[in-house]
Chain A
Amino acid sequence: MRAALHLAILLLLPPLLPGIVNRVKAAFAGRRGPPVLQLYFDLWKLVRKGAVYSTATTWIFRAGPVVTVAALLVAGLLLPFGGGLPGPAAFAGDVVLFAYLLGAGRFATVLAALDTGSSFEGMGASREVTFAALAEPALFLSIAGLALARGTLSWTTMLSGQMPAWHSFGPAFAMLIGALFLVALAENSRIPFDDPNTHLELTMVHEVMVLDHSGPDFAFILYGASIKLFLLGAIVVRLALPFAASIPAHVALFLAGMIVFAVIVGVVESTFARLRMNRIPQILVAAGVFAALAMAVILIRVNG
């Protein structure tokens, strides 16, 4: 039952988040904006379309979107959604698999981009990998901090039940949330790291890698991007909502938290300009420093 609910949330709800983000941005710009369900309409439209493949591409190009979505869905099975829905495939040490599944998804997208032989996509791939390499330490240090605080290496136990950690590790957890929020923005190519709405190839990071995908392949890309936003958002939201309750109440609370997360992403995108490309590493390193500091604080508390 719980597994079915978990799976339903994982499969069906992610495309809602970009819709909420876009509505918030539209409100800031004084527009009404597209329907909240726009991404569902787009996906439905795209899967019914044909795909165009360049003669320069190979099976790697076609495999890219599928592998990416598959990796993200498996990663989703490891993650608890709030305190009420444990990860159906959770096991001790799944945090490491989770991080590398994200990496594997990215690897497939990058390979597909390089497979086109386009200089744009090569440029985007190079940027994406550079920034991901800098975001990864922040993610791993955050995980290490959490693991120390909860004494476990599984997302489900790490994020389950009451979170007594808030009483003893409050400041450290606040820093962890900050670091993970930055990682979530960077990994999902949101402002201030990347502009998901730009049409300017030369400035793009993630978007330029998927320029050659069309039809169902592009639907998979968009779907995958929304899942990634949902997964990283789920970690941030669970950390920020530490208390436990009965399952229906907690699931409702978690989903409300996800909506608030999307709104905050929208507010950030509406009030910040994106960073100059050579400033991005600084911010990502700063996120890593936050996470390291949080880990140090937790380490001292745990040992003392």
Chain B
Amino acid sequence: MSNGSALSSGRQADHAWLANGTALSLDALATRPLHELLDAAIRAREQQKRLIALFPFCDGSGDRLLMVAADAASARLSATSFDLAGAPGWPSITPVWPEAHLFEREIHERWGLVPEGHPWLKAVRGHRELEATPVSPAHPFLRAEGEGIHEVAVGPIHAGIIEPGHFRFQCFGEEVLHLEIQLGYQQRGAEQILEQAAPARRLAVAESIAGDTAVGHALTYCMALEGLSGTRAPLRAHAIRGIALELERMANHVGDLGALCNDVGYLPGAAYFGRLRGDFLNLLTEISGNRYGRSLVVPGGVRFDVTPALQARILETIEADERDLRDTFKLAINTPSVLSRFEGTGSISRQTAVELGFVGPTARACGISRDVRTDHPSGVFQFTHVPVAVAEDGDVMARANVRWLEVTRSLRFVREQVSRLPEGAVRVPMSPLAPSSMTTSLVEGWRGQIAHVVLTDDSGRVARHKVIDPSFHNWLALALAVRGAQISDFPLCNKSFNLSYAGHDL
């Protein structure tokens, strides 16, 4: 390893390695001078690492900037910290590592530090776009001008029952020249609540980060706490967590396939997929008592066991559903009018997806094999491999295909896991959290990679809890997908991503 020479020359290692969900003592976390950040970013990009988190934190020795990157080739995460030492900012790393763009914007907004040379240092969640600050110029919406160019503003209040967000289109007739998405209307301070609320309440907060990803976020949260405390959840709990995670994935993918049909006015697809989504939610209800699987995953295991009677019922239901799902998907996909709407709509190139660090089905639909379950397996996925579903075209059809493939593979996974659940307990008591430590937990939620980075102080309390929902990475994908498309195709594109406003806003 190149680290060898660095160590022999007396330098500290560039970064510390850790696995998904394991703890690292802050003493072992290398601290580099801030001016090395740019170099580190260039090297990380050369090594095809992905940026998981970038945020400042404060421990006893002062303010530091933490960078966590993922290396899929070695299934490891690297953590480095940079000594801020009262500096007002640093040369922006976005020009050399574009996927850092939102992280730097977030840092600028929340902590007032200035990544100099960032191309678009607009607030991520706040609405101060028209106010110039001493360090940053005003960032009004980008505006196209010329004859026949008009602006369409949608939201933040929408006609349907959906979350608030503002979409500003610059159009030439029916063609979209540019879309700018302004979010932040759902900002609840989830990270601050996770740091400050009574520990017993935090799980409920984690489950509410994105309401349709309750299992995913709860699992990521619990993995982080278990990593910090060295608690090992029992095997049976891991299997049940995996089953719940995949049921959540199937419910959402199937629901979205129905929603895609609905958006193009294809009634049978919308109706049948809609019914089947209900079946998966009902299975989650049978396991946990809640349609979205809330309060199932808890630190140390799961709260509810799967009884033999329930095992039989799950197998029975998914067998019937698999048949119906196949018929419905075939019906929709063999309808030329549906295909003509899906194909070639909302395309994103593979290069764009790589550069901007998109995650989940969005990235996989662009031909990128990127899946936390395979790249950084944890829990039950260390023992069972779920094949990564990849499509090439990056359009609505590709995203629908990826989601469909994931549904079929999740069905197989759930059948396997349910039919041979490990014996034993489903929950163990939690040990106290290790002091002055950090961990990063990653879970492949149905929208993509969910990341929680948790740091403890010297008394073993949570000092920082950073949440990165997949939507944080992917909203820009939607804005790019509709460039040059028809404005009337926007809702279809939007549904093919179905990103979370709450998950982004936190």
**Residues of chain A having any CB pair with chain B under 8 Å:** 25, 28-31, 119-120, 122-123, 127, 191-192, 195, 197-203, 211, 269-279
Q: A203 vs B271: C-alpha distance in the bound complex, in angstroms?
A: 20
Q: A199 vs B157: C-alpha distance in the bound complex, in angstroms?
A: 13
Give the shortest distance, in Å, between B35 (CB) and chain A (any CB).
47
B201 within 8 A of A: no
Give the shortest distance, in Å, between B157 (CB) and chain A (any CB).
11
Q: A123 vs B337: C-alpha distance in the bound complex, in angstroms?
A: 24
B341 touching A200, Cβ below 8 Å? no
How many residues of chain B are within 8 Å of chain A by beta carbon? 32
B7 within 8 A of A: no
Q: A214 vs B261: C-alpha distance in the bound complex, in angstroms?
A: 29
B265 touching A191, Cβ below 8 Å? yes
**Residues of chain B having any CB pair with chain A under 8 Å:** 150-154, 159-160, 174, 261, 263-268, 270-272, 275, 335, 337-338, 340-341, 345, 486-492
Give the shortest distance, in Å, between A88 (CB) and chain B (any CB).
38
A203 touching B491, Cβ below 8 Å? yes
Q: What B residues does A30 contact at CB under 8 A? A: 271-272, 275
Q: A29 vs B345: C-alpha distance in the bound complex, in angstroms?
A: 26
Asked if A203 meets B263 with Cβ closer than 8 Å, knowing A30-B271, A119-B151, the reply is yes
Asked if A202 meets B337 with Cβ closer than 8 Å, knowing A119-B151, A274-B264, the reply is no
B174 touching A278, Cβ below 8 Å? yes
Q: A270 vs B264: C-alpha distance in the bound complex, in angstroms?
A: 12
Contact of A276 among B266, B335, B340 (CB under 8 A): B340
A199 touching B266, Cβ below 8 Å? no
Give the shortest distance, in Å, between A126 (CB) and chain B (any CB).
8
Give the shortest distance, in Å, between B151 (CB) and chain A (any CB).
7
Q: What B residues does A198 contact at CB under 8 A? A: 263, 265
A29 touching B338, Cβ below 8 Å? no
Asked if A272 meets B337 with Cβ closer than 8 Å, knowing A28-B268, A200-B263, A277-B486, the reply is yes
Q: A273 vs B267: C-alpha distance in the bound complex, in angstroms?
A: 8
A203 touching B488, Cβ below 8 Å? yes
13 further A-B pairs in the complex, CB-CB below 8 A; given A28-B271, A274-B337, A276-B340? A28-B267, A119-B150, A119-B151, A127-B174, A199-B159, A200-B159, A202-B487, A203-B492, A269-B265, A273-B337, A274-B264, A277-B488, A277-B489
Q: A269 vs B264: C-alpha distance in the bound complex, in angstroms?
A: 11
Q: What A residues does B340 contact at CB under 8 A? A: 273, 275-276, 279
Q: A275 vs B266: C-alpha distance in the bound complex, in angstroms?
A: 10
A29 touching B263, Cβ below 8 Å? no
Contact of A119 among B152, B263, B270 (CB under 8 A): B152
Give the shortest distance, in Å, between A263 (CB) and chain B (any CB).
15
Q: A12 vs B492: C-alpha distance in the bound complex, in angstroms?
A: 38
Asked if A202 meets B268 with Cβ closer than 8 Å, knowing A30-B275, A273-B341, A275-B337, the reply is no
Q: A203 vs B174: C-alpha distance in the bound complex, in angstroms?
A: 10
Please name 22 pairs of A and B residues whose Cβ atoms are closer than 8 Å in the assembled complex, sorted by A: A29-B268, A29-B270, A30-B271, A30-B275, A192-B337, A200-B491, A202-B488, A203-B263, A203-B488, A203-B489, A270-B268, A272-B266, A272-B335, A273-B335, A273-B340, A273-B341, A275-B340, A276-B340, A277-B174, A277-B488, A278-B486, A279-B340
Contact of B489 among A199, A270, A272, A276 (CB under 8 A): A276
Q: A102 vs B489: C-alpha distance in the bound complex, in angstroms?
A: 29
Which 6 pairs from chain A and chain B are nearest by CB? A29-B271, A274-B265, A273-B266, A195-B265, A273-B264, A273-B337
- Closest partner residue, chain A, to B274 (CB atom): A29
Q: A198 vs B327: C-alpha distance in the bound complex, in angstroms?
A: 25
Q: A271 vs B338: C-alpha distance in the bound complex, in angstroms?
A: 10
B152 touching A202, Cβ below 8 Å? yes
Give the shortest distance, in Å, between A213 (CB) and chain B (any CB).
14
Q: A198 vs B159: C-alpha distance in the bound complex, in angstroms?
A: 10
Q: A274 vs B265: C-alpha distance in the bound complex, in angstroms?
A: 5
A192 touching B154, Cβ below 8 Å? no
Q: What B residues does A273 contact at CB under 8 A? A: 261, 264-266, 335, 337-338, 340-341
Q: What A residues does B270 contact at CB under 8 A? A: 29
Give the shortest distance, in Å, between B79 (CB) and chain A (any CB).
43
- Closest partner residue, chain B, to A276 (CB atom): B341
Q: A192 vs B336: C-alpha distance in the bound complex, in angstroms?
A: 12
A120 touching B265, Cβ below 8 Å? no
Give the shortest distance, in Å, between A168 (CB) and chain B (any CB).
35
B491 touching A202, Cβ below 8 Å? yes
B265 touching A192, Cβ below 8 Å? yes
Q: A278 vs B340: C-alpha distance in the bound complex, in angstroms?
A: 12
Which one of B261, B263, B267 has the greatest number of beta carbons of chain A within 10 Å? B267
Q: What B residues does A197 contact at CB under 8 A? A: 265
Q: What A residues does B150 contact at CB under 8 A? A: 119, 122
Give the shortest distance, in Å, between B462 (CB) and chain A (any CB).
42
Give the shortest distance, in Å, between B272 (CB) and chain A (any CB).
7
A276 touching B338, Cβ below 8 Å? no
Q: A277 vs B154: C-alpha distance in the bound complex, in angstroms?
A: 19
Contact of B490 among A25, A202, A278 (CB under 8 A): A202
Q: A28 vs B331: C-alpha distance in the bound complex, in angstroms?
A: 13
Give the shortest distance, in Å, between A240 (CB) and chain B (any CB).
24
Q: A192 vs B264: C-alpha distance in the bound complex, in angstroms?
A: 9
Q: A271 vs B153: C-alpha distance in the bound complex, in angstroms?
A: 33
Q: A274 vs B491: C-alpha distance in the bound complex, in angstroms?
A: 13
Give the shortest distance, in Å, between B355 (CB) and chain A (any CB).
28
Q: What B residues does A269 contact at CB under 8 A? A: 265, 267
Q: A260 vs B261: C-alpha distance in the bound complex, in angstroms?
A: 26
A270 touching B174, Cβ below 8 Å? no
Asked if A200 meets B160 with Cβ closer than 8 Å, knowing A273-B338, A275-B337, the reply is yes
Q: A197 vs B265: C-alpha distance in the bound complex, in angstroms?
A: 8
Give the shortest distance, in Å, between B245 (CB) and chain A (any CB).
29
Q: What B residues does A278 contact at CB under 8 A? A: 174, 486
Give the shortest distance, in Å, between B18 (CB) and chain A (any CB).
45
Q: What A residues does B272 contact at CB under 8 A? A: 29-30
Q: A59 vs B491: C-alpha distance in the bound complex, in angstroms?
A: 33
- Closest partner residue, chain B, to A122 (CB atom): B150
Q: A278 vs B173: C-alpha distance in the bound complex, in angstroms?
A: 11
Q: What B residues does A270 contact at CB under 8 A? A: 267-268
Which one of B268, B270, B337, B489 has the greatest number of beta carbons of chain A within 10 Å? B337
Give the shortest distance, in Å, between A207 (CB) and chain B (any CB).
10
Give the shortest distance, in Å, between A185 (CB) and chain B (any CB).
12
Q: What A residues does B154 contact at CB under 8 A? A: 201-202
Contact of A29 among B159, B267, B335, B491 (CB under 8 A): B267
Give the shortest distance, in Å, between B329 (CB) and chain A (any CB).
15
Q: A271 vs B270: C-alpha distance in the bound complex, in angstroms?
A: 12
